[in-house]
Structure 1
Amino acid sequence: MALLQEWQKISYNQEQDRATLQRFWQNYFLIEKGIYEKLLDNPDEEVSGTVKELADKYEIDIMAMTGFLDGINDSLITPNPIETMEEDTVVSLAFDKEKLYENMVDAKADWLYELPQWDEIFDADKKKTLYREAKNAHTIRNTVKVGRNDPCPCGSGRKYKQCCGKKNK
């Protein structure tokens, strides 16, 4: 069984009681925060190795490393083959800084996007811009629907049904 499937069985186990699952995720988030602190200290350094080597480097177990790789994969410059990876699969943690920050905001992971290391990477204006972009990316804007008998929005002065509405039929 691939590591990702094992990780998903453990992390989304429906048979565990809520308190146990909550403790599991609290522990994982602390591990994740620790890894990101180290990565963001040297954001331009490309960290790579096998899954096992990276787990050893960050002093965590293979499953926690699998979870971390799953979480960061969308922010990587070149995504890792997480669906099929095993302990000896070579992976890279070379991430796109802006994409990573936006993905952390999107995940509502304030314990990650508020890390002090980000202050060394982006200035306050850049962080504000990235934050706003991440929040607006999933915002659905409802536009006012033009009624058949309303004036046409093109400015012709005619009714919508006699102007642009006629073209849309």
Structure 2
Amino acid sequence: MDKKYLLETWREIAYNQQQTQEQYDQFWGAYFAQEVEVYKDLLKNHGTVVSGTVEELAKKYNMEVLTMVGFLDGINESLKTPNNLEELTETREVSLDYDDELLYKNMVEAKADWLYGLEEWNDILDADKQKKLYKEQKLSGTVFKDKKIGRNDPCPCGSGKKYKYCCGRN
């Protein structure tokens, strides 16, 4: 297989526009069930760096190689040293050495409550830390708009003039 083949193949299968909603739901339901099991193991063995070839990790977690590629695609931004996914082959050595807080925040960002809600997190991050990280992640995507300046409000530039006669002129 060429180097781009695994990731491209995974994405073609995972995001197939030709499948029915039922097929889509079945595919992702099966994927998420396997994903949960991998995360439970990683979190339960916190502090132990899991690594191996893509093929070895797929066997370790009882999944197809392409499903492991999908998992690697999902966790990659949370790793201390991200893997070069474009060059994944079955024999490529990869590491699942993740950053606890970044992984938790990325799960929140993905709205993956089935992952950031895993009870295994309780042994790694206390409830207050989980709430803090959840809030930080939610606020990071919030856009705060400045209050609109009214035509007769003082100009924010500090000139003392009304906005309409200063910076608000067209």
Q: Same fold (TM over 0.5)?
A: yes
Paired positions, count: 167
Measured after TM superposition, the shift of residue 162 of structure 1 is 6.5
Residue 43 of structure 1 contacts residue 97 of structure 1 at CA under 8 Å; is this kept in 2?
Answer: no
SS of the equivalent of 1:91 reads strand
Query: In structure 1, what residue type is equivalent to 2:99?
Result: D
- Cα distance in 1, alignment partners of residues 101 and 77 from structure 2: 12
- Cα distance in 2, alignment partners of residues 138 and 98 from structure 1: 17
Tell me the equivalent position of 1:137.
Answer: 140
- Cα distance in 2, alignment partners of residues 114 and 160 from structure 1: 50
Tell me the equivalent position of 2:116.
Answer: 113
Query: Which of 73, 78, 85 does residue 75 from structure 1 map onto?
Result: 78
Residue 55 of structure 1 contacts residue 62 of structure 1 at CA under 8 Å; is this kept in 2?
Answer: yes
Measured after TM superposition, the shift of residue 59 of structure 1 is 1.3
Gaps of 5+ in 2: none
How much is the aligned-residue C-alpha RMSD, in angstroms?
2.0
Tell me the equivalent position of 1:6.
Answer: 9
- Cα distance in 2, alignment partners of residues 158 and 40 from structure 1: 60
Residue 46 of structure 1 contacts residue 93 of structure 1 at CA under 8 Å; is this kept in 2?
Answer: yes
- Cα distance in 2, alignment partners of residues 156 and 122 from structure 1: 51
Residue 38 in 1 paired to residue 41 in 2?
A: yes
Residue 37 of structure 1 contacts residue 115 of structure 1 at CA under 8 Å; is this kept in 2?
Answer: yes
Measured after TM superposition, the shift of residue 74 of structure 1 is 0.6
Identity %: 53
SS of the equivalent of 1:78 reads coil
Query: In structure 2, what residue type is equivalent to 1:145?
Result: K
For residues 51-108 of structure 1, the C-alpha deviation after alignment (integer angstroms, 9 at most, x for no partner) is 0011111111101100000000010011001112110111110001000000101111
Tell me the equivalent position of 2:24.
Answer: 21
Match runs of 1:42-121 below 5 Å:
42-121=45-124
- Cα distance in 2, alignment partners of residues 90 and 23 from structure 1: 30
Normalising by structure 2, report the TM-score.
0.90
Normalising by structure 1, report the TM-score.
0.90
Gaps of 5+ in 1: none
Answer with 13-22 or 101-110: which moved more: 13-22
